[in-house]
Structures are given as C-alpha cells and as structure tokens.
A and B are shown apart, each in its own frame.
Chain A
Amino acid sequence: MHPVLKTVLQRLGLGLLTLFVVSVLIFASLEMLPGGFAQAILGQGATPETVAAFNRELGLDRPATIRYLEWIWNVLHGNFGYSYAGAGGSIKKSVSAIIAPRLYNTFFLAIMTAVIAVPLALFLGIMAALYRNSLYDRAVNAVTLTTIATPEFFIAYLLMFFLAIKVRWFPSLSTVSEDTSFLEHIYRAALPAITLTLVIVAHMMRMTRAALINLLSSPYMEMARLKGVSQRDAVIQHALPNAWAPIATVIAFNLAYLVVGVVVVEVVFVYPGIGQLMVDSVSSRNMPVVQACALIFAATYILLNLSADIVSIVTNPRLLHPK
C-alpha cells in the first residue's frame, strides 16, 4: 500500500480510538462533578423529590454505564441526542441544531484568522531566517514575543479601544446571527480575527525561522552556496522544502487552538462561537452538548495533526519514494 494512504488509514483508526477514549473521559469527569443538571437548573432550594422526578424525566436515574452506552449507540447512528435544557417541555432541541450555527461561527473565525496568520507567519519567518540576527530579525522577534506574552483579553481590549472606539474602523462587538451576510460577517469578526492572529503568529513564525536556520549549516546548503545559488534562493529552494514537517506540525497545533481555545476572545467580543457554548453547558451539566463539543474538539485535533503528518510525508522523498 502507498505509504501516504497507509499512514492516513492508521492515523484515522487511532483517531477513532482517541475519540472513544475522550468521550469516556469527558463522561466520567462530568459524572464525578458534584451536583447534576437537575440541581443546576432547579437551584439549591429544590426538594429531593423534585430533583428525583426531574432526573427520571431525563432518564438520569439510570446507571451511568447504561446512559453512556445508549449515548454512544446513538452517536454511532448519527444522533447526538437532545439537549437537556427544555427537555421536559414541548420544545425538544437536538444537540446538532444547537451546535451547528455555533460551529459555523467558530470555523468562520478560525479560517479567517488562519488565512491572515499562516501566510503572515511564514513570510515573517522566512525573512527572519534570511536576515537572521539583523535589526529586522530582532524587531520581529521582539514584537511577536510581546504579543504572545500579553494576555489575549488584554490585546482584545486594546484593539477594541483603538480600532473600534478611537478610529471606529470595526465594530467593538462581534454579534452575528444566521441572517448576517458573508461580508458583514467578515467585517464583524475582524477584531477577534486580528486578536487571534497576534496571539498565534509568534509561535508559527519562530518555528519557521528555527526550522530554516537549523538547516542552513547542513552540507547541502554549503553545496548550494558553492554552486552559486543566492542566499534567498538557497533558503527558499533548498532549505524550505526540507523544513515543512516541523512547520506544518506547529501550524496544525495553532489552527487547532483557533477552534478549541478561543473562548476568552469569544467572550470579550460576544462572538457566538462553540467555546462559549461548551463552557455554559459544562456549568449547567448539559451532558449531550458537552459530549458533542468535546468530540468536535478532539476530532479537530486529530484531523489537523493528520494533515501535518501528511504534509511531512509528502514533502519527504524518503517516505514518498522509498528505495
């Protein structure tokens, strides 16, 4: 079998196993938390009878293993279940329906940020490697380190203050709904996207620079120079093709962060993403929603890491063209 295909299948298999383990862990840890959905909804004053009745209504009185198995059985059939919230009443809301718009928003923001941040980081990194130890190199390192070291909510408020309040280029709140048009969505998501770009660029840029510089002392780079290849072409044509693997790994890591780790930025800009939804659901013990979010997060990590692995295979002739 072709090595790329083999790796993809292997990783996907392992990925499914990981998803299963994640779902067990999340389920078990939520079980271990004190209180439950009923207490969270009914409040501290609720009598034990009401709580018990409520739990019976939701089926929460049954043993955890049964509930877990039932849930996973449904998931395997494409049914993520129904939200506990509003379960007793007439409006029974499916988890998919709750998550879908939030997920769209999250991916929208993530892709928008990636489109800005990844090329920017690569460009800055390559230039830094090319002009290493120059004023430019030191300046770009200092600036990106500062932005990564500053708490993201602080960057968010700074941007909001200058770009939204002082010069009024962008709205300070990023409220969007299903009716928001594509361009309007971009406009509204601009501040969170810029904030996230500032947060993730440093890591990717520094890895690009380090991966390239690491190769510059290799004999084939000296050979390239002695063949009369200019410094710029040597870095781009001779070093970069050998540096993709570590760079792709770091990019994948940061893109995953854009999906799973942006709750603070969502809160600051009141952007209706999946991070906020998950935090709310955990505090209300809304198990089906939490489980679905956790699976999405895990799947994001797995798929992005898989893509990074594929990049490292495809860019490495030793793996792509075995002897």
Chain B
Amino acid sequence: MKSDNRQRVKGEALLEIRGLRIEGNSDGVWHPIVKGVDLTLKRGEVLGLIGESGAGKSTIGLAAMGFARPGCRIVDGAIMFDGIDLRAAPEDAKRKLWGARIAYVAQSAAASFNPAHRLIDQTVETAVRDGLMTRDKAVADAIDLYGRLQLPNPRTIGERYPHQVSGGQLQRAMTAMAMSCRPDLIIFDEPTTALDVTTQVEVLAAMRNIVEEFHTAAIYITHDLAVVAQMADRIMVLRHGLEVEEAPTREMLREPREDYTKTLWAVRKLAKEESISDDVTLSVRNVDASYSGVVKVLDNVTVSLPRGRTVAVVGESGSGKSTLARAITGLLPPARGEILFNGKPLPRALKDRDKDTLRRIQMIYQSADTSLNPKQTVRDILGRPLEFYHAVKGAARDRKVAELLDSIELDESYIDRLPGELSGGQKQRISIARALAAGPDIIICDEVTSALDQIVQEEILTLLMKLQKDTNVSYLFITHDIATVRAISDEIVVMHRGKVVQQGPKTQVLNPPFPAYTELLLSSVPQMDPDWLTNLLAERARAKVKA
C-alpha cells in the first residue's frame, strides 16, 4: 500500500493490443464492431477512449480484459496483458486475473451492484475469494478505501445495501471495489455518465486521486471530451470501430488533427441569439405539487414562458424539472397555485381539459425508443394526432404526414417504416413531428437530446430552432446539460430541490453575479481545459477555508 510515488512515472508496457477485430451478432448475422485497433498502455498511465456510441469504446475496454459480451466475439488480433496472452488464456486463467489484477468500473453503479448483498460484502468479495487477504483485513482495507474516496461514514457505509446510498456514492463504492485488490489495470466504462454534474466533480476527483495514489494504469471510456481531459494522460478518438487519432491530452486539445475530432467540439459552439419577449403564453404561479402528499416535489414554483421563445429548465436529478412538466400537462394536478395559459387558468387535471387545450400543449420525451409504439409505422404515429385533433383522413392525411416528414428533414420514403428501422436521431425527429402534428402553442421537451450523441444532438437542436422560427412555437426545454442550455435557450430557469433558484434571460443567468446554487452548477460543468478540475478543486478548497 505504498503510494508515495505521486509523480506519474510511466513504467514499461502493461497492456498491448494489436490488430484487434471484434464482431457483433444481430439477427444471426455477424458484422464488425471493432475493425483493427492497436493500443498500448504503460504501467500507471491513464488512456482516454472517446467517441460517439457505436464507436466500439466499451467493446475495446472489455476486450482489454479478454472478455467479449454475449453476442460479440473477438475474431482477430493479440491482447497481451503483462506477458499473458488473454486471447489464448483459458477462462479459468482469466478469472484469476479479473477483479484481482484487472478490474472493471461500470457505467451504472446502481445496476452493477447486486441488490441482494451489502456493499462491504461485494467490495471484499474478490480479495477474500482469491485468498489475497483475510476477510477482516479486507474489510479494514475497504474502510480505508471508502475514506480515501471521500465516502461519508466510511466505517458504516459498507453495511448498507446498494439502494440505500446515492448514485454518486455507489460509483465511488464501485471504485473502492475495483481498487480492493490493488489491480494493475482498471477499466472505467463511462463511470460518471449517469451522474449529475455537481456529483460528477466529486466522483472524478476521487477516482483521479486514487488511481494516482496507487499508480494504477487505467482505460477511461467516455463520450465527453471535457471529462476525459481531466482524467487521461493520453486520448484515443474512435469512430466506427477504428482509431481516428491518438495524442497526449494537452496536444489533442490544443490541436486536433482530424476533422472528425474537430466536430466533437461543434455542439459546444452552437448558440442561439437570445431574444426576449413579454408576450407570455404560459404562466405557472406559486405551484406546489407532490406525489405522496407529504414531500413537496414542487415548492412554490413560478415560471413564465413567452410566445415563440425557449425557456430552458435546468437542474440536477430530483430538482423537480420533470415534475414541473407533469404539472403543466395535467398528469400531476398541482396541490396549490395556478397555471395560466394564454391568460386563462388551465384546468388542473388532464381529464378536465378540452381537446383544443390538449392540442395546444404537446410533449416530447427523452427516450424515443419507449415513447413511440414499436408496432406502428411512421404513417400511423404521425397520422393519429392529425386525425384526432384535425379530423384529416385518407389521402389528405397522408399528404400532411409527408409535409411533416419534410419539415423534420426526413424523406417521404420513411412513411412506412417502423421505429425499429430508424436510428436514434431519426426516432427523436419522429417524436418531434408527432408533437408538431397537433399544431401546438407549446412543446415541452423533457431531456430530448440526453440519450443522443453530440453530433446528433446538434442536428436535433438545430431542427428545433428552425421549427420555432417557422411556427412560432414555444419550448419549455428541460435538461441537465448546460451546453444544451447555452445552445437553445432565450431564458433560463434554474431549479434545485423543487424550488426555482433563478429565472431570467440567458445572458443574465449565465453571467455573474450568481446565486450560490447556480454558481455551483455552472462551475461543475467540465471544461476542455485539462487543468479545470485541479483548479476548481483548489478554488473550492480555498473558499471552504475562507468560510
């Protein structure tokens, strides 16, 4: 457990991957996922793998352990870990390495911890099973790791079950679990993607420190360049299963060579010109709402939405953003307060609203996968609101559907496709068209770009802005992503624990002076600067000392 070596002295090569090819099976056909990737990792070095989804990042990360998910197979190439050929090694030999010398930290700690066992039992499992430590020693060590990872109550937190601790704490506990045998290599597979930005900062800091402290080599997989910039010594950009380029972090950020790498910055440059209007279409006044009747999920919330403008509602999970949407749509009638729509009070409950009111407020959800009926063709999905709200039938309906497809920049040939035959971005376009079909005044967008890659995100945001220009629709845009907020909003509402912290024009909210929570939220958004995390932590430490 000696870890005085705080300098990143890189040792000899620990992991060498040459000409790696992996295939995946879908519907009985094998198609390539990884098409010949080389990778070298030295002891104590952190390599960032970045790329959009489908680039093969996770598949390569798992292959570095000699593991392929069911439905995948490693077809070619060499994987050498510290002189051991992982492709040739039998399952038993690999099992001895897994957990002990190569550890894995998964994206969703909530799903990757076994709900039936206490954290401590899962943390020490490998060390005790492999006989590396006695249970008592392993438990004492785990408590030490919990402490180093800044978990609250390190002595007792291990007694808890996974559902009893928060997502950020679980992610740190998973890092402790990975660290328990002091592995030579840890694979971090999008470990902070599911976390709020404010939580992400702490988890990133904890992970970075512990990896440095124990001089562990790591592969850090993410789609977020700013995050990887904080963590990695070197970055490898992947696309469609091939390496695009590889360079030391600072060099890569300063001057990316390839066009594709440059486009990864693009969404961050997309920004709407702010435009303010006093013509309010929807006004939420002093609204309280709760699910159980006990805990207020919305607490005295007042928000107004001007016609033809975009108001972004931003906050971390549990801040009440989505509940606000449910209160406006009538799915969750507010306990107190009123909602004015075009100057008239909206009936609280969905069932009391007439068809025309329903038509005027539409919603788009985060996951187009689950909000589109998989058994309906695009014709039916878009035709249904046309028939229901506008009584258009037959050929006239099909003409309208074709117009809608045109407005979302999809070809008419998509009309007979099922959602399963569309890409993620195309599905989200269909969701947008479905909302548009009603001819609404307001569209509530609930995290509509969160599940998409950055490039697709940019396309969807551009489309939404174009549609707003054409139809003068208002958007209430719910998101946790500050870059998206910057890109699309005219006004911003910051929410925290069910309360509105701040509402105002974008330039005002995003510029100082900040209310305390807004400042915390904005400062937690990772920046491309590789020193961002270090500086931020130093600054926060100073502020703490001052306080």
Residue of B nearest to A217 (CB): B70
* Among A220, A222, A229, residue most surrounded by chain B Cβ atoms (within 10 Å): A220
Give the complex CA separation of A321 and B99 in angstroms.
28
Give the complex CA separation of A217 and B130 in angstroms.
25
Q: Enumerate B314-336 residues with CB–CB distance to A below 8 Å.
A: none
B96 pairs with A223, CB closer than 8 A = no
A149 at the binding interface (Cβ < 8 Å): no
Contacting residue for B116 out of A226, A229, A242, A323, CB 8 A: A242
A225 / chain B contacts, CB cutoff of 8 Å:
67, 98
Interface size on A, residues (CB 8 A): 22
A230 at the binding interface (Cβ < 8 Å): yes
8 sampled A-B residue pairs with Cβ under 8 A = A220-B113, A227-B103, A227-B125, A228-B97, A228-B100, A229-B126, A241-B116, A316-B116
A323 touching B163 in the complex, CB below 8 Å, given contacts A226-B98, A228-B96: yes
Kindly provide the distance from the CB of B118 to the nearest chain A CB, expressed in whole angstroms.
8
B177 / chain A contacts, CB cutoff of 8 Å:
227
A219 pairs with B111, CB closer than 8 A = yes
A219 touching B116 in the complex, CB below 8 Å, given contacts A226-B99, A229-B125, A321-B161: no
Give the complex CA separation of A230 and B91 in angstroms.
9
A315 at the binding interface (Cβ < 8 Å): yes
Kindly provide the distance from the CB of B113 to the nearest chain A CB, expressed in whole angstroms.
6
Give the complex CA separation of A321 and B165 in angstroms.
12
Against B, the Cβ 8 Å flags (1 = close, 0 = not) of A215-239 are 0011110111111111000000010
A220 pairs with B163, CB closer than 8 A = no
A228 pairs with B115, CB closer than 8 A = no
Contacting residue for A315 out of B70, B106, B116, CB 8 A: B116
B163 pairs with A317, CB closer than 8 A = yes
Give the complex CA separation of A233 and B50 in angstroms.
34
Kindly provide the distance from the CB of A320 to the nearest chain B CB, expressed in whole angstroms.
9
A62 at the binding interface (Cβ < 8 Å): no
Contacting residue for A242 out of B69, B108, B115, B160, CB 8 A: B115
Q: Enumerate B123-176 residues with CB–CB distance to A below 8 Å.
A: 125-126, 129-130, 160-161, 163-164
B126 / chain A contacts, CB cutoff of 8 Å:
227-229
Give the complex CA separation of A292 and B345 in angstroms.
61
B477 / chain A contacts, CB cutoff of 8 Å:
none
A318 at the binding interface (Cβ < 8 Å): yes
Give the complex CA separation of A219 and B108 in angstroms.
8
A219 pairs with B130, CB closer than 8 A = no
B114 at the binding interface (Cβ < 8 Å): yes
Give the complex CA separation of A48 and B307 in angstroms.
88
| Interface size bracket, B side | 20 to 34
Kindly provide the distance from the CB of B291 to the nearest chain A CB, expressed in whole angstroms.
15
A217 / chain B contacts, CB cutoff of 8 Å:
70
Nearest 7 Cβ contacts at the A-B interface: A241-B116, A227-B99, A228-B98, A228-B99, A219-B111, A317-B161, A226-B104
Q: Enumerate B84-120 residues with CB–CB distance to A below 8 Å.
A: 95-100, 103-104, 106, 108, 111-117
B70 pairs with A220, CB closer than 8 A = no
A223 / chain B contacts, CB cutoff of 8 Å:
104, 106, 112-114
Kindly provide the distance from the CB of B125 to the nearest chain A CB, expressed in whole angstroms.
6
* Among B69, B116, B161, residue most surrounded by chain A Cβ atoms (within 10 Å): B116
Against B, the Cβ 8 Å flags (1 = close, 0 = not) of A108-140 are 000000000000000000000000000000000
Give the complex CA separation of A321 and B104 in angstroms.
28
Contacting residue for B129 out of A220, A228, A321, CB 8 A: A228
Besides A220-B111, A223-B106, 20 other CB < 8 A contacts?
A: A218-B111, A219-B112, A220-B115, A222-B106, A222-B112, A223-B112, A227-B98, A227-B99, A227-B125, A228-B99, A228-B100, A229-B99, A238-B114, A238-B116, A242-B114, A316-B115, A317-B116, A318-B161, A321-B160, A323-B164
A226 touching B163 in the complex, CB below 8 Å, given contacts A241-B116, A315-B116: no
Kindly provide the distance from the CB of B326 to the nearest chain A CB, expressed in whole angstroms.
23
B95 pairs with A230, CB closer than 8 A = yes
B65 at the binding interface (Cβ < 8 Å): yes
B115 pairs with A317, CB closer than 8 A = yes
A224 / chain B contacts, CB cutoff of 8 Å:
114
Give the complex CA separation of A33 and B111 in angstroms.
57
Kindly provide the distance from the CB of B161 to the nearest chain A CB, expressed in whole angstroms.
4
Kindly provide the distance from the CB of A227 to the nearest chain B CB, expressed in whole angstroms.
4
B65 / chain A contacts, CB cutoff of 8 Å:
226
* Among A226, A238, A321, residue most surrounded by chain B Cβ atoms (within 10 Å): A226
Kindly provide the distance from the CB of A50 to the nearest chain B CB, expressed in whole angstroms.
65
Kindly provide the distance from the CB of A271 to the nearest chain B CB, expressed in whole angstroms.
41
Give the complex CA separation of A220 and B126 in angstroms.
14
Give the complex CA separation of A220 and B106 in angstroms.
9
Against B, the Cβ 8 Å flags (1 = close, 0 = not) of A243-277 are 00000000000000000000000000000000000
Kindly provide the distance from the CB of A80 to the nearest chain B CB, expressed in whole angstroms.
44
Give the complex CA separation of A316 and B163 in angstroms.
11
Against B, the Cβ 8 Å flags (1 = close, 0 = not) of A295-323 are 00000000000000000000111100101
Kindly provide the distance from the CB of B91 to the nearest chain A CB, expressed in whole angstroms.
9
